[in-house]
Amino acid sequence: MPPTCSGLLCLSLLLGKSLLVSSVQVVTSGQQNISLNGKWTLENSNGTLSLPAEVPGCVHTALLKQGYIQDPYYRFNDVAYGWIALDNWTYTTTFTVPSDMRAKQRVMLVFEGIDTISTVSLNGAAVGRTDNMFLQYVRWVNSHDPHEAVHTSPVRYAAQRSEAHSYRVPPDCPPEVQQGQCHVNYIRKEQSSFSWDWGPSFPTAGLWKGVRLEAYDVLRVFHLATVPVYNQTSSGWSLQVELQVEVVAEVTRGQLTLSLPGLDTQQTFPVQLLPGRTRNTYTLHVNTVRQSEHRGNTLHINTAFPFFVRLQVYFRTVELVQEPVPGSPGLSFYFRVNGKAVFMKGSNWIPTHSFQDLVSPAGVRSLLESAVAANMNALRVWGGGVYQQDLFYSLCDELGVMVWQDFMFACALYPTEEDFMDSVREEVRQQVRRLKSHPSVVLWSGNNENEVALATNWFGIPGPERPLYVKDYVKLYVDNIRALVLEEDQSRPFLASSPTNGLASERQGWVADDPYDPRYGDTHYYSYSRDCWDWSAFPRTRFASEYGFQSWPSFSTLQKVSVPEDWSWDGPFSSHRQHHAEGNRQMLEQAGLHYHLPNATDPLRRYKHTLYITQVMQAQCVKAQTEFYRRSRSEVVGGKGHTMGALYWQLNDIWQAPSWSSIEFGGKWKMLHYFAQRFFAPVLPVGFEDGVSMVIYAVSDLSVDLNLTAQVWPVNNQTVGGELLLPVDALLKGCGNCTRRSCLLAFHLEDNHGNQGPTFLLFPPQTEVRGDGERGYTVTLRSTSVAPFVWLDAGDVPGRFGSNGFLMASRSQEVGFVPWGPTSAEELGRALTVTSLRDVY
Ligand code: BMA
């Protein structure tokens, strides 16, 4: 320890420029830890602001908690608080180190995450600099490295880097409608924190993860990972156990025993640990693994050294299959898990909050449980946000959610100078080591949309300059990121980008002429102007990893961050929150193709109806597109098809604003999420018109044969039979004076045990609502006439309905409501509102 403090360490972190590294931490006996989380002091550059600040945390939340600013999400505050990210800030704390800790051979200062550009000093002497929010930084504190302290705000730092760069690396700035900051591609920080087309600009700074001191005498475990390997030839499993330790004692010999008691497996290895850092991989041959079981097995690691580990390991294989498809030019693109082809059903995950320290474990769990409740089996962690916290991946392991993991690069070109590349390399190493033990992670993917940005020249790069950018692209994602991933983890596939043509992109030098080619790889497809009910417009892709439509969140969600004068579709608040150019107009135009647009004379009523109609449009559009992808699984039409994935854009929101999400900020389900629960159901009837026919197409994800009957009702409730192909004219005639405009069509599938799939009605009735019940509530809906898109909204009461939406004519229906916290029947009854298309007409 530096003598100046004699038992008292003073540490200040100056946010403003680059400590080194490490990964998983296992506490060993004889190791002592002191948490430095809690209250620190935060000061701005000229000392006019000095306040207590919570660690983990960031400047914005510290200012908020101390009352210096209001809710940053309130009204126009994102713009009003732009000054915060332009200043430099210093975090300071003092702490005492007990004498027994000081007596240890080594004391380390561990920052789980620093956001982003900072110099860390201890007792006035700089001990390191940081430049990447995705790194854990570890520093011995009994040595000094003199570093110059450069204190820069993330925004100013990004601008300086761009200025200093010898050529332009576009885009310079986000579109004006996003009201964001420029040059985010120069800083290894959450890319969407400088603004996105669904999110505000809050370039945060701070100690966003925990800080601690660790002291030890003999060794510290830096990294521990387990990777199961399946040998095709012997049909046997082995488990690779990677262990990286730092040894401070003399040469240590001993034994290490790996055992999986549940699988009658045990092996002992001789070990010699030399001073310094060593990394070894031990291969444990596993006796038996019952293939079909997706459950954890406990691995015990016993050693003669002072540490002992117990952890869960899982056995599964994953392959990304790209091979010729009969009757279709191109290559397949699908995931095979434990030897079985899997259709991925799910969505894309974006950061759940602008201030990561405000992301609660309960919030993460609620979102993941909502995904599973909607029959999703996969999520893509999108590359413009953050690598998620450990809890996210553990929950995905537990809930059976497959994770497509992007590296954090999105919608931009990136610099490749050496210090940037060093930082990226360390980021990739740390993140892959941290996450590779999670069976939920099934794919590493280099970036979001950067191949297509180059291929289709988003940034207007003149022809002669293109090779320079292609070279940078290959250097970053192929020569470095891919090479490192292959070195660190061969147990799962790697893709350079999304969308990509996969192997076909590789053959074209990693940038395909058309990365959207539906015959190869994955695609992203957005079209807001074409009628989304027309399925023939959708690309029959191998894998739809992004597609979607915007909607507005519910009134109760918006109400928390707005005032009555904001509640108008054409007002400044509505344009301020809309970060996608022309988004509000596009939503109404798409809705107008099938629904009457709200025209109530009462402005508030009209505003609420408009929010509702955007949700109706979004739910129905994403349903139409997803159903098309699901039925394209077994079809090859015109050489295209064999679709094996549908991940719509996007699952969640970062704030209260219009976006493509199916879940609002705060966790409330939009209409789309209820629809997703149905359109992702394991057995799904898809009804669509094909020429003169109405087709009911049965989709099943189950691996057993089903004997299914389609039941179809016209509006007068007569069963018109189990036919699968119905001429539309005959169908309309069969129910009296039906026309396309007056008819309701309902259908469901039923297996030979009488189990019914969801009933889909295109049009249903007027409603009357009552709430009662103790553990959960039942809302009774009654109607005497057809009411389409019946929508129940519980306002601010947290929870979700069991099902909702569609009633048969002259029927009553009970809908369960599961509250997510204490709520009385009266409270729910008061909060409930019901809207249907009839209210809008
Ligand atoms: C995509 C995504 C995001 C974006 C979304 C909606 O392509 O990768 O960048 O938010 O479209 O525009």
Q: Would you state the torsion angle of the CA atoms of residues 696, 702, 706, 708, taken in this order, to the nearest 10 degrees?
A: -30
Nearest to 530 by CA among 408, 624, 390, 597: 624
248-301 pLDDT per residue, tens: 877 678 899 999 988 889 999 998 888 888 899 999 999 876 654 546 788 998
Residue 707 is predicted with a pLDDT of 75
Helix (H) or strand (E) holding 405: strand 402-406
Output the pLDDT for position 721: 33
Q: Which residues of 302-313 are buried (b: 16+ CB within 10 A; e: fewer)?
A: bbebebebebeb
| φ, ψ (nearest 5 deg) of residue 364 | -65, -45
Q: Average pLDDT, stretch 767-793? A: 68
CB 633 within 8 A of CB 643: yes
* 524 Cβ inside 6 Å of ligand 1: yes
Q: If you measure from the C-alpha of residue 146 to the centroid of ligand 1, how many angstroms do you get, rounded to a whole number? A: 43
Both tokens of 711, joined, read: 């039941």
Establish whether residue 197 lines the binding site of ligand 1, counting it when its CB lies within 6 angstroms of any ligand atom: yes
Residue type, 117: I
Q: How far is the CA of 82 from the centre of ligand 1 (A)?
A: 24
Binding site membership of 449 for ligand 1 (Cβ less than 6 Å): yes
Q: What is the pLDDT of residue 27?
A: 54
- For residue 490, what pLDDT is reported? 94
Helices (H) and strands (E) in the chain, counts: 19, 46
Pocket flag, ligand 1, residue 489 (CB < 6 Å):
no
Q: Say how many Å lie between the CA of residue 412 and the centre of ligand 1.
A: 12
Using the predicted structure, report yes or no on whether residue 149 has a pLDDT greater than 50. no
Residue closest to 696 by CA, chosen among 707, 679, 709, 706: 709
561 — pLDDT class (breaks 50, 70, 90): very high
Check pocket membership of 546 for ligand 1, CB cut-off 6 A.
Answer: yes
Average pLDDT on 164-174 reads: 98
pLDDT of res. 3:
30
Closest CA to 312 of 287, 295, 289, 290: 295
- Joined together, the tokens standing for residue 776 give 């959960």
Distance 586 CA to ligand 1 centre (A): 16
Q: What is the mean pLDDT of the chain?
A: 87
pLDDT one-digit tens code per residue, 407-458: 999 999 999 999 999 999 999 999 999 999 999 999 999 999 999 999 999 9
- For the packed helices 603-631 and 583-592, what is the interaxial angle rounded to 10 degrees? 80
Whether 10 shows a pLDDT value over 80: the answer reads no
3-state helix, strand, coil in the chain (%, to 5): 25, 30, 45
| Least confidently predicted of 171-175, 183-187, 545-549, 812-816 | 812-816
Nearest CA to ligand 1 atom 9: 411
Atom 8, ligand 1: which residue's CA is nearest?
448
Closest CA to 652 of 447, 440, 370: 370
What one-letter code names the amino acid at 614? T
Q: Is the bond into 171 cis (omega within 30 degrees of 0)?
A: yes
Strands (E) across 439-496 are located at 441-445, 494-495
Atom of ligand 1 nearest to the CA of 198: 10
Please name the residues in contact with 640: beta carbons below 8 A apart, sequence gap of 6 or more: 328, 518, 519, 539, 540, 541
Contact 146, 125 (CB under 8 A): yes
Identity of the residue numbered 574: S
Output phi, psi for 395, to 5 deg. -65, -40
What's the 474 CA to ligand 1 centre distance in angstroms?
A: 22
Q: Is the CB of 522 under 6 A from ligand 1?
A: no
pLDDT tier, 187 (very low <50, low <70, confident <90, very high otherwise): very high
Closest CA to 533 of 596, 647, 625: 625
Helix (H, G, I), strand (E, B) or coil at 46: coil
Among residues 43, 427, 546, 750, the one annotated as catalytic is 546
> Mean pLDDT over residues 651-680, rounded?
96
Q: Which of 192, 449, 621 to mutate to test the pocket of ligand 1 (most atoms within 8 A of CB)?
A: 449
**What is the percentage of the chain residues whose pLDDT exceeds 70?**
87
pTM, to two decimals = 0.93
- The answer to whether residue 598 scores a pLDDT higher than 90 is yes
Q: How far, in Å, is the centroid of ligand 1 from the Cα of 548?
A: 9
Structure tokens at 792: 């129940």
CA torsion sign for 82, 83, 85, 86 is positive
Specify the DSSP class assigned to residue 115. B
Q: How many whole angstroms from 486 Cα to the centroid of ligand 1?
A: 28
| Tens-digit pLDDT profile for residues 337-354 | 999 999 999 999 999 999
- Please tell me the predicted confidence (pLDDT) of residue 802: 79
- Please, are residues 586 and 550 in contact by the beta-carbon 8 Å criterion? yes
- CA 401–ligand 1 middle distance (angstroms): 22
Render 265-299 in DSSP notation, one character per residue: EEEEEEEEE-SEEEEEEEEEEPS---TT----EEE
pLDDT of residue 164: 97
Which helix (H) or strand (E) element contains residue 819?
Answer: strand 812-819
Query: Ligand 1: does its nearest atom lie under 6 Å from the Cβ of 452?
Result: no
Structure tokens at 838: 């009839």
Q: Is 516 in the pocket of ligand 1 (CB under 6 A)?
A: no
Cβ(648) to ligand 1 under 6 A?
A: no
pLDDT grade for 145, boundaries at 50, 70 and 90: very low
- The tokens 């989380």 sit on which residue? 37
> Residue 734 — pLDDT band, cuts 50, 70, 90?
confident
- Identify which of 178, 445, 586, 649 to mutate to test ligand 1's pocket (most ligand atoms within 8 A of the CB): 649
What was the pLDDT predicted at 451? Answer: 98
For residue 661 and ligand 1, the question of a CB distance below 6 A is answered with: no
Atom of ligand 1 nearest to the CA of 197: 10
By residue count, the chain amounts to: 841
Weakest-pLDDT range from 18-32, 282-296, 613-627, 696-710: 18-32
Class of residue 504 by CB neighbours under 10 A (exposed 0-12, middle 13-18, buried 19+):
buried
Q: Per the residue annotation, which of 190, 449, 451, 488 is the catalytic one?
A: 449
411 lines ligand 1 (CB under 6 A): yes
Q: Is the distance from CB of 826 to CB of 777 less than 8 angstroms?
A: no
Pick the residue whose CA is nearest to atom 12 on ligand 1: 197
pLDDT at 163 over 70: yes
Does 449 participate in catalysis according to the annotation?
yes
Which token pair is 64?
Answer: 């908020």
Residue of minimum CA distance from atom 10 in ligand 1 = 197
> Does 546 participate in catalysis according to the annotation?
yes
CA 229 / ligand 1 centre spacing (Å): 35
- Whose Cα sits closest to atom 1 in ligand 1? 546
| Model pLDDT, residue 805 | 47
